[in-house]
């Protein structure tokens, strides 16, 4: 679907990085808030602390246990890490080696191989594992009830039966690019993201073919194909009550509402949250669905508030390069970036304070997965086990506490929504990239 020659994500990251000014405004400042977004505050000549990108900085708690700690690294030299999914003490990792590895308690547990190429996205639903691939296929895997270390392929979306039935009718073919048609139930380009509906009934798949497809999990049938954007769809996330959000390389984030339509369903576009030149590369929502976060190729994270009909709440500035992944557990927000760092933001209402920067990766941070630390919760300390996958072929494991010490941090409330919008002059990229694929 791209109008230019295909390039790998690593090449694209390097190309995007090469034009960045050494005096980029996206330098981390201890205590920076989402409201501090004026050109003056973000000026490279107005930095009051040294950048942590050259040297690791850890905020230490007064107690013996630091609020942030690197637990360990999982390294298996078989490719860049593109996808992660965690459940309890299990971690699933996908790479460009076609293998899905399973780790248990930081040790390699088992693995299984797909012939569909690079594993771009993994999502867990009960005993089922769904994986999205570079070749446009979605594989379904099941854990063996007799041996939990054995994973068997349970099917593919769409099924061969549905492909055969659909191929009979000429009306089921749609144009996917000039002089080329394909069945509407099949993705014709890479599957970039998967998301489950809140009731676990539907699986949403976003693709570089500019569509989002909706699958009924019970019978693996494609219920709808939404021509969602004018360029690659990089992210999709489901909210409550049939609401769905999509982010694209065309620079927009759209809100959709699921509506029943006879025996099937139909998604109607509700509103566009943002329209910008730079590509949207990641989306996330907090557990309560109160905030929606959007990461972009300019290094910014915008967010919107559900209570105000998804009005723009502000922008988080902490990265020098593109934001590639997001997670929002509890009162924290994690943003992973092509600048090799993870910013940790503490949320208090609409005020977001950058309380820490996790450093250590030697390549872009491509994916995040978060699980609550149950042992710490039993001690009264709410902690999160954070997994970060990188194009340096490693997964790092962090323990991050919500009990951040922010006594010395100033608090500024947003003056107005307009004040928090990104300025063109703040962009760390030379121009928008309408075909920026994540």
Q: Is the separation of the CB atoms in 399 and 106 below 8 Å?
A: no
- Look at residue 406 in the predicted model and tell me its pLDDT: 46
CA 49 to centroid of chain Cα atoms: 29
Is residue 372 a contact partner of residue 384, using CB atoms and an 8 Å limit? yes
What is the phi/psi pair of residue 196, to 5°? -100, 145
pLDDT the model gives residue 172: 92
The answer to whether residue 401 is domain-embedded is: yes
Q: How many CA atoms lie within 13 A of 119 on its CB side?
A: 29
228 in any annotated domain:
yes
> DSSP letters along 358-404, please?
E---SS-EEEEEEEE-HHHHHTT--EEEEEEEETTSEEEEEEEES--
Within-domain flag for 373: yes
The pLDDT value given to residue 265: 86
Among 355, 309, 308, CA closest to 330: 355
Domain count, the chain: 1
pLDDT value of residue 404: 66
Q: Kindly report the pTM of this predicted structure.
A: 0.80
- What six digits make up the tokens of 340? 């090799």
Which letter does DSSP use for residue 241 in this model?
Answer: T
Distance in angstroms (rounded) separating the CA atoms of residues 52 and 361: 13
User: By CB neighbour count within 10 A (0-12 exposed, 13-18 middle, 19+ buried), where does 287 fall?
Assistant: exposed
Domain membership flag for residue 2: no
435 inside domain: no
User: Using CA atoms, how far apart are residues 159 and 226, in angstroms rounded to an integer?
Assistant: 19
- Residue 432 resides in a domain: no
CA atoms within 13 A on the CB side of 381: 19
- In which residue ranges of the chain is pLDDT below 70? 1-65, 404-435
Using DSSP's 3-state secondary structure scheme, residue 163 falls into helix
Write down the pLDDT at residue 405.
55
**pLDDT value at residue 90:** 94
DSSP-derived pairing of the beta strands 99-104 and 233-238: unpaired
Cβ atoms of 90 and 102 within 8 Å: the answer is yes
Domain CATH code at residue 369: 2.130.10.10
Note down the domain range covering 41: 20-426
Nearest to 20 by CA among 339, 392, 402, 391: 339
Q: Quick check: is 348 in a domain? A: yes
* Span 394-415, pLDDT tens digits: 999 999 998 865 443 333 223 2
pLDDT value at residue 65: 55
The pLDDT of residue 63: 43
* 272, burial (CB in 10 Å: exposed 0-12, middle 13-18, buried 19+): exposed
Quick check: is 79 in a domain? Answer: yes
Q: What is the pLDDT at residue 45?
A: 30
3-state DSSP assignment of residue 243: strand
């Amino acid at each position: 679907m791209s109008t230019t020659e295909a390039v790998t994500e690593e090449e694209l990251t390097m190309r995007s990085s090469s034009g960045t000014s050494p005096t980029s405004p996206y330098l981390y400042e201890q205590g920076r808030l989402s409201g501090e977004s004026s050109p003056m505050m973000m000026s490279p000549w107005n930095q009051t602390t040294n950048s942590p990108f050259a040297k690791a900085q850890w905020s230490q708690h007064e107690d013996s246990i630091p609020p942030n700690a690197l637990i360990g690294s999982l390294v298996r030299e078989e490719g860049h890490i593109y996808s992660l999914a965690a459940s309890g003490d299990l971690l699933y990792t996908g790479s460009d080696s076609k293998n899905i590895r399973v780790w248990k308690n930081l040790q390699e547990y088992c693995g299984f191989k797909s012939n569909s190429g690079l594993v771009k996205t993994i999502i867990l639903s009960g005993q089922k594992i769904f994986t999205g691939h570079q070749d446009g296929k979605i594989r379904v895997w099941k854990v063996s009830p007799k041996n939990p270390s054995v994973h068997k392929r349970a099917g593919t979306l769409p099924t061969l039966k549905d492909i055969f039935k659909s191929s009979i009718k000429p009306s089921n073919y749609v144009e996917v690019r000039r002089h080329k048609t394909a069945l509407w139930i099949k993705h014709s380009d890479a599957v970039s993201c998967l998301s489950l509906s809140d009731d676990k009934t539907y699986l949403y798949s976003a693709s570089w073919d500019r569509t989002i497809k909706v699958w009924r999990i019970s019978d693996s049938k494609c219920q709808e194909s939404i021509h969602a954007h004018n360029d690659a769809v990089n992210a999709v996330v489901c909210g409550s009550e049939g609401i769905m959000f999509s982010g694209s390389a065309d620079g927009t984030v759209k809100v959709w509402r699921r509506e029943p339509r006879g025996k099937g369903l139909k998604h109607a576009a509700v509103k566009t949250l943002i329209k910008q030149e730079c590509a949207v590369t990641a989306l996330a929502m907090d557990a309560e669905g109160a905030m929606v976060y959007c990461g972009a190729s300019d290094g910014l994270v915008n967010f919107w508030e559900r209570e105000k009909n998804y009005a723009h709440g502000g922008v988080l500035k902490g990265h020098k390069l593109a934001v590639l992944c997001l997670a929002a557990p509890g009162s924290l927000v994690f943003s992973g970036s092509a600048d090799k760092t993870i910013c940790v933001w503490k949320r208090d209402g609409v005020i977001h304070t950058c309380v820490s920067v996790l450093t250590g990766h030697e390549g872009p941070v491509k994916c995040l997965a978060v699980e609550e630390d149950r042992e710490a919760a039993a001690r009264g300390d709410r902690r999160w086990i954070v997994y970060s996958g990188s194009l340096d072929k490693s997964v790092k494991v962090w323990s991050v506490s919500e009990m951040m010490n922010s006594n010395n941090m100033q608090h500024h409330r947003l003056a107005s929504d307009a004040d928090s919008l990104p300025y063109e002059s703040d962009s760390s990229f030379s121009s928008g990239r309408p075909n920026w694929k994540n």
